Structure 1
Amino acid sequence: MTARWIGWLCCGLGMASAGSVVVASKLAGVGLPIFVAAALRYGLAAMVLVPWALKRRERLWPDGGDRLLLVAQAAAGSLGFSVLMLTGLRHTGGTDAAVIAGTLPALVGLLSLALPGAGLGRRGWGGVLLAGLGTASLGLGAGTAGAQHGGGRWLGDLLLLGAMAGEAVFVLLNKAMRAPMPPVAVSAVMCLLGLLATLPFAMGEAAGLDLSAVPWSAWAAVLWHALVPTILGFVLWYAGSARLGGAEAAVSTALMPVSAALLSVLVLGESPGLHHLLGIALVLAAMVLPLTAPESPR
């Protein structure tokens, strides 16, 4: 097997595991309080990532202004993403979340306009438009979905969109760092900061928590979220992207919403409607379109 095919396989498996975040968050958020679930995920992941980073002799804290950027990343990407995702999935379904998760590249491109000298180009704007249409298509099934999720579906979808916006801010802040940290180190620090931010709220929630009433699926979901998407998915993605070009690796992100949708059907027992299929098709097109531009000569 060539290095390129190994790269595709690793990136594909990494993105497929990222799609499982939707199902894991759904199961964890239903069985556990929001901050308890988030703190457990960060704590478990940090127990692996911190020793790993130290063994690689990687610095766990940047210098100067990068410290503020790192804290802002944790607030937007780790804390904001996790809490909004867990809360949103209490009001809406995993298949809706799969469609909304696919808007991440378009949100990154749109928010990057706030940076000096940023521009999307025709294909970039086309991707934003397709992603917007994909999200809007969820409204075509408002009647059945609203009945299924108790009328709070629009709130859930908005919270999920906010979660993806937080992840987009995380990506942009990482690009803004003057001295980017190694991947293992930054993942370890994100988990530590996420744990510190959620722990006070988690302790308050845990005081009234009946552990015997928590289903095993919630504990399993937290463990899965910490070990598979957060750690294994990270390893697979960076192993694969090291063997591929940037555009090729980016194409594999299209597997994330597909994986989330399939797992929502298989694990959560959801029945996707035509509006979900339309939304997924549109967000997949939104991911691929900007990558069809010819590479500029070097």
Structure 2
Amino acid sequence: MTSNATLSFRGYALLACSMLLVGAYVAFSKALLPYFPPFALAWLRFIMAAVTMAPWLLEWRGQWRGLTTTNKWVLFSMSFFGNFLFTICMLFGVANTSVSAAGIIMSLLPATIALFSVWFLKERLSGAVLLAIVLAVAGVASLSLNKADAHQTFLGNALMVGALGCEAMYVVGAKYLTGSFSAKQIAVSMNSTGLLLSMPLGVWQTSQMDLAAVPLHAWLLLAVYAIAASQVAPWLWFRGLKHIPANRAGVMTVALPIASAAIGVLWFKESLTTAHVFAFICALIGVALVTRVKSKV
């Protein structure tokens, strides 16, 4: 029989791996944008993931008919915010800002999740969490006012803040969905919704492209991105939530900006400015505050 300690360790490991993948594909999506416009990239991603997830859809096809109206709306809302809208905001955001700035903005996830939990789950907002939120705002402001990073714009940072909010909705929604659905079911639902929502503009942008001119390495990176973003990362996240109390899961999202910032520096040769360091320190202090509060739950 597996001990609770082993299950907890496994759960935290799954959550961390999921967020590391998210951070990686947020960063590497910048390498895909020169070849694929944002809506085309999103649509092609959902198509590729749908092919690999087809066995999952067939496995659970008989269970979709008995869904309540509430569950249908929760699934749709989570898919809309956590998959479709997150993808669009993220792709347009990284097209207009640096990978490092995008990663640091996403490092505000734990504090944002705490705030959303107050709004949607009626959790009490403590002084420590409130301070973490103030630090989060200060960190984002330092990036927006930073003139040393020529690779970022106010629009790009604003879009990444939108992606941040969508990802927080995704995490908060998971607190409800994991009680009724499997990790595979949620992943399939999210990808299918994203595919349908992105289809009109995705078809239009794809029709304007010369697909034959896209190099092989870009297609291979797109395939890895699609599977990681739509299939592997959600499955890891929801599997991890099976073993971890939901109110602690948000803390593990700190792995996302770590991966994104590391790839920005090591792969894209970006440099960390004083504003980046200040924002990251604000985020780390916020994470420490939220972690301390969550540990008491």
Structure 1 residues 86-95 or 99-108, which shifts more?
99-108
Matching of residue 26 in structure 1 with residue 30 in structure 2: yes
What CA distance in whole angstroms lies between the structure 1 residues aligned with 2:216 and 2:138? Answer: 38
Cα distance change of structure 1 residues 177 and 7 upon mapping to structure 2, 3 Å threshold:
closer
- TM-superposed CA distance for 1:249, in Å, is 4.8
**How do 1:265-284 residues align onto structure 2 when only pairs under 5 Å count?**
265-284=265-284
Cα distance change of structure 1 residues 248 and 169 upon mapping to structure 2, 3 Å threshold:
closer
Q: Which amino acid aligns with 2:272?
A: P
What CA distance in whole angstroms lies between the structure 2 residues aligned with 1:53 and 1:121? Answer: 42
Matching of residue 15 in structure 1 with residue 16 in structure 2: no
Structure 1 residues 50-59 or 179-188, which shifts more?
50-59
1:55 aligns with one of 54, 59, 70: 59
- TM-superposed CA distance for 1:56, in Å, is 6.0
Q: Which amino acid aligns with 1:165?
A: G
After superposition, the CA RMSD in angstroms is 2.8
- Counterpart for residue 232 of structure 1: 232
**How do 1:137-286 residues align onto structure 2 when only pairs under 5 Å count?**
137-139=142-144, 142-146=146-150, 148-149=151-152, 153-175=153-175, 180-242=180-242, 249-286=249-286
Cα pair 2:109 2:253 within 8 Å, conserved: no
What CA distance in whole angstroms lies between the structure 2 residues aligned with 1:237 and 1:176? Answer: 14
- Counterpart for residue 111 of structure 1: 116
What CA distance in whole angstroms lies between the structure 2 residues aligned with 1:58 and 1:127? Answer: 44
- CA deviations over 1:71-97 (Å, ceiling 9, x no partner): 222222222111111111111111110
- TM-superposed CA distance for 1:225, in Å, is 1.8
Cα pair 1:103 1:131 within 8 Å, conserved: yes
Cα distance change of structure 1 residues 161 and 215 upon mapping to structure 2, 3 Å threshold:
farther
Cα pair 2:251 2:290 within 8 Å, conserved: no
What CA distance in whole angstroms lies between the structure 2 residues aligned with 1:275 and 1:178? Answer: 38
- TM-superposed CA distance for 1:125, in Å, is 1.0
TM-score (norm 1): 0.84
Structure 1 segments unaligned to the other structure (5+ residues): none
Cα distance change of structure 1 residues 179 and 241 upon mapping to structure 2, 3 Å threshold:
closer
Structure 2 segments unaligned to the other structure (5+ residues): none
TM-score (norm 2): 0.85
Q: Which amino acid aligns with 1:124?
A: V
